[in-house]
Structure 1
């Protein structure tokens, strides 16, 4: 059995709370099958007592007294009936949370745009950063969908660059491994995973004959939901399952006059909207800036076993860059650890993978964070070990 271990900085916070020949050594690759968890909610818990409509019901006005012309002289008119009692607000059955004080104004007017056509998943691959930060480690989407999933203990680097390249690159060969010595772009202790990518074909494929997929630009959002599984060893006695959900807004995707996906980036003023819940049950809500580079395209040549492929690319989320400006806003979420269900949803892109002689649509689960409208669209669902190894 793998021996469970947690990265060193977790010991101080214990009270608070994804295969590839070139990479190799992924703890997740050899992990035994773990029990499936029960279903977990995919929406942010709602503060108790909130009204489902966001407004209190109006009270019933008092009826007016009828004319007294028929009241005999010398008699007392009947008393005016008392107003009907105001009904208590109905319990909130919605899927969103009101924003905490100090959050930006309501963003319910967000309109997600979507590129026409679809992009195919190539080689059934996703990617994350290997635990020793030597290489980007590609593994199969199929493995990600199993209980073992990915194992990301490079998450939330507390050390800014540079790392000692001579140390982290030992035994790494650029011609085989693509990239040697992955530097954390900045200290980002709240990043739940260091990076994540999906390998897709560069060219948009028409979903119907004659559909034009060239010269497009769509601005939308990308969401990730990490909800700790009920069978996670990271849940201690009396502790709550940890949650971290976030939405990256103002993500711009563009295609060329040949339909090639040539740009994925965050626009100026983009934000990451975050909801989290600690093992102690404390809820955290915050909005932080999304720096340039948070979302981008990563050439396949920087990843092991690319075999010189130039027809595909990784849609890449550099979450250490993304969370590098969180400051102390997410301090309560810096030590979440355990076995999580992971959902990635892209509002601007539809993705498919080969399925026999046909294609299978990959659809993410809708993700709602704070006052953000739900993010729906293409996506994948799998499992991730965060800051913790599976036992064996």
Structure 2
């Protein structure tokens, strides 16, 4: 670690904890509106000199927030770093929480609450550090991006990025504060998930020849998908920097039938494809569709009835791969005192930022293992390390020397 960089303390500031408690208090489960949180954050940022812009979903129940602090860097909207996070959280229904998930509390060196780790802790750090920022020393702008519906397919950030493009706002890089235990990540897999609906024809189970058994044909489809998955696993080029070094294809949900004595007229299942950066997922999907139409559907026929198979895309986001020698990677590694960045299997908005011309590094407080679980938490030590990283990054990349 360079001597001029600040070292982290063992606990975060009171400002970070107070803001994080406020953010957790907003129920921003993806199906709910996030406007209360977004408007609170917007007002906070504007009080500290930021220019803000909102982009909404079609129902105007949810919004993205993009904010810029220029200081002495006025007129340089094509430069600067974005600190990015999503505001939505996953549901708590069916989880056994020891306390109210939307009332943060601190115990044993941890702050508990839904979103503490994924990823309101990072957002709180960004906001809490602003009052002490000497904006007159900014030689490049400082940007913030806070999105909606990341947890359900990275939906919101797409409109935010389109808005930036329309307005010629072109930051040079992005720090995405997903929980990585404050380690730099430069690549992750992309993901597509699909629902396959198999429509047959009902009959009494004592007369199977009079029906089209949707479960049977769904099972045939699932076996074909497994066959493709094994071939991809064995033939595709591997990247051993990933924990799972190949693209994976798995069936994750399956259901069908109404009663034990009825030939089922409908069955459906969900499968997903998590693919390495650079892999075209459309090839796998087209192979699955072709098998359905050419091999399975012709078998789904009886006198007076014809079965069919339909597909629906549920989730689609690209992989992320930032060059190891990109300036934003070098800056993050130097500040963290690390020599090498990681690659991970979970997804983020990073691939979409990358496609928009903004290379990304994922680095944030908390362990991904704690995300989405009951009694989700982030350690105070991780929040303190994030504060140090934020301050040191700005000092090295955005601020003139004091």
Q: TM-score, normalised by structure 1?
A: 0.22
Structure number having the greater strand percentage: 1
More helix by share: 2
Instruction: Normalising by structure 2, report the TM-score.
Output: 0.22
Q: Which has the larger radius of gyration?
A: 1
